[in-house]
Structure 1
Amino acid sequence: MPEFTTILDRLAVMIRLGIHDFEAEPQRVIVSVEMTVDYPEPLRDDTIEQVLDYDFVRERIVALAAERRFALQETLCETVAGLCLADARVRRVKVRTMKTDVYPDARIGCEIVRVSEP
């Protein structure tokens, strides 16, 4: 069975994320996603219908950023991982978020790895 890693790297979104008063307004967060995707057979055609269309991941993250407030990066990571694992072909997902503007000298982030249940 072919196994691919589909990557969405460094998607910048403005999102309401955090527990501090200064985080009440949307802030810039970088989101990266790696999905290990299994396909039932080798790819035969060069068509999107055969593979996971990564547009859905980007679109759902952008929608989450516009619609929802998160207190914790851990919750954001867990939510994005759940979106990815909703596709049965995704066997493993790694999600990383990075707040870029909280500290003047560093970024602060969180990462989760989840594996689909058999």
Structure 2
Amino acid sequence: MADSVFIEGLVVETVVGVYDWEREVTQSLVIDLEMAWDNRVPGRSDDVADALDYATVSRRIGTCLKELRPKLLEHGAEVLAGVLQAEFGVIWLRLAIRKPGAVPGAKAVGVCIERGSR
């Protein structure tokens, strides 16, 4: 299956980082997500109940990362991928988490993972 649903540039404010000062403030994370999903059924029915609801997925991403308060982006990505696969039945996903302004001179730093199989 080559179909997918994606969310690009989702900003989540959360506590993230390993330094003491980072554990006391919120910072922005930027999420890009692509999920394998058979879009033929919602394409025919035009019914949101048949689709992977990206608004619901986006809210869940925010809730997960705000509750998790990860020290490492790698940990945030792994936990988030597991939650999305378990709760939404996503068999494959590509997830990038960026932390803007974390390194002087760089627009952002981050991680990208793929989990599951198409």
TM-score between the two structures when normalised by the length of structure 1: 0.84
Change (3 A) 1:13 1:41: closer
Residue 115 of structure 2 corresponds to 114
Q: Shift of residue 42 of structure 1?
A: 7.7
Deviations 1:72-107 (A, max 9, x none): 11111112211221223x221011001102123111
Which protein has the bigger helix share?
2
1:104 aligns with 2:104: yes
Contact 1:28/1:101 (8 A) holds in 2? no
Which protein has the bigger strand share?
1
Residue 81 of structure 1 corresponds to 81
Contact 2:4/2:39 (8 A) holds in 1? no
Matches within 5 A, 1:1-118: 3-24=2-23, 25-38=25-38, 43-86=43-86, 87-88=88-89, 90-106=90-106, 107-115=108-116
Aligned equivalents of 2:17, 2:76: Cα separation in 1: 10
Residues 11-20 or 35-44, more deviating: 35-44
Q: Shift of residue 9 of structure 1?
A: 0.5
**Which 5+ residue runs of structure 2 have no aligned equivalent?**
none
Q: Identical aligned pairs, as a percentage?
A: 30
Contact 1:35/1:84 (8 A) holds in 2? no
TM-score between the two structures when normalised by the length of structure 2: 0.84
- Aligned residue pairs: how many? 115
Contact 2:97/2:112 (8 A) holds in 1? yes
Q: Which runs of 4+ in 1 moved over 2 A?
A: 38-44, 64-68
Contact 1:3/1:39 (8 A) holds in 2? no
Aligned equivalents of 1:46, 1:63: Cα separation in 2: 28
